[in-house]
Amino acid sequence: MKEINASEISKNMIQMIKKDWMLVGAGEDKFNMMTASWGMIGHLWNKDVMNVYIRPQRYTYEFMETNDTFSCSFFDDSYRDALKLCGSKSGRDIDKAEACGFTTNFIEHAPVFDQTVCTIICRKIAVYDIDPSQFIDASIDKNYPLKDYHRVYTGEIIKVLVKD
Ligand SMILES: Cc1cc2nc3c(=O)[nH]c(=O)nc-3n(C[C@H](O)[C@H](O)[C@H](O)COP(=O)(O)O)c2cc1C
C-alpha cells in the first residue's frame, strides 16, 4: 500500500460508496466493522473530511463512540460476499474479520485490512444525530420506519492508503 493525500484520490467516491460499498471499522484491542453504503467525503472546517452514518443499534456504533479514530475500507469485487456478510451479521455474534479471511492491522488505532484497495483513516472531530424535524423533504423519513436515526460521525482524513 502507498500513502497519498486525500485530494489525490482519483476514484469516483460516489460510486465507491454507493455501488462498491465500504467497511466502517473502529477499535484496537477489541474492534468491529460493518458494511456501509451511505457516506460523504469532502472539505469542511478547512479539513478534508469523511462523514459516516451509523444507526444506534449497530455493534459498530459502540466502537465509534468509544474510539477517537475510525477507518473506511474499500475492496475490489472479489470481496463482495465478505461485504455482504459484514452488512448482515453482527460482530456481537461472530468474528467478522475471521469469517471474511481478513488480515487485520491497526494504523492510528483503527483497524485496516491487507485485502483493501483503498483505506481512509479518520480522526473523529464531530458527532451529531440526524434530527427528523429538520427534514425538508418528508420522504426522507421513509428510511426510518424504526425511528432509528443515524448518528453522523465527521472524521478528519488523516491517512489515505491505496494499493500500489
Ligand atoms: C450494502 C449495505 C449498506 C449498509 N449501510 C449502512 C449504513 O450506512 N449505516 C448503517 O448504520 N448500517 C448500514 N448497513 C447495515 C449494517 O452493515 C448491518 O446492520 C451490520 O450487520 C451491522 O453490524 P454490527 O452489528 O457488527 O455493527 C448496511 C448494510 C448493507 C448490506
Minimal-distance CA residue to ligand 1 atom 13 = 36
Cβ distance 49 to 9 under 8 Å? no
- DSSP helix/strand/coil, 117: coil
Quick one: pLDDT at residue 75?
Answer: 98
Alpha carbon nearest to ligand 1 atom 7, residue: 36
Using the atom order of ligand 1, give the atom closest to the CA of residue 38: 8
**What is the Cα–Cα distance from 161 to 94, expressed in whole angstroms?**
27
Three-class SS state of 99: helix
107's grid cell = 494504523
Decide if 74 contacts 20 (C-beta within 8 A).
Answer: yes
pLDDT for 69: 98
| CA 43 to ligand 1 centroid distance, Å | 25
Per-residue model confidence as pLDDT tens digits over 86-122: 999 999 999 999 999 999 999 999 999 999 999 999 9
**Ligand 1 centre distance from Cα of residue 33 (Å):** 9
CB 21 within 8 A of CB 34: no
Ligand 1 and 88: CB distance under 6 A: yes
Distance CA 108, CA 131 (A): 31
Ligand 1 pocket, residue 53 CB under 6 Å: yes
- C-beta pairs of 128-131 under 8 Å, 24+ apart in sequence: 128/152, 128/154, 130/53
Q: How many angstroms is it from 145 CA to the middle of ligand 1?
A: 16
| The total number of residues written for the chain in this structure | 164
Confidence of residue 148 (pLDDT cuts 50, 70, 90): very high
CA of 130 from ligand 1 middle (Å) equals 16
- Encode pLDDT of 42-67 as tens digits: 999 999 999 999 999 999 999 999 99
Across residues 78-86, what is the average pLDDT?
Answer: 98
What separation in Å is there between the alpha carbon of 156 and the centre of ligand 1?
22
Residue type, 46: N
- The owner of cell 473523529 is 124
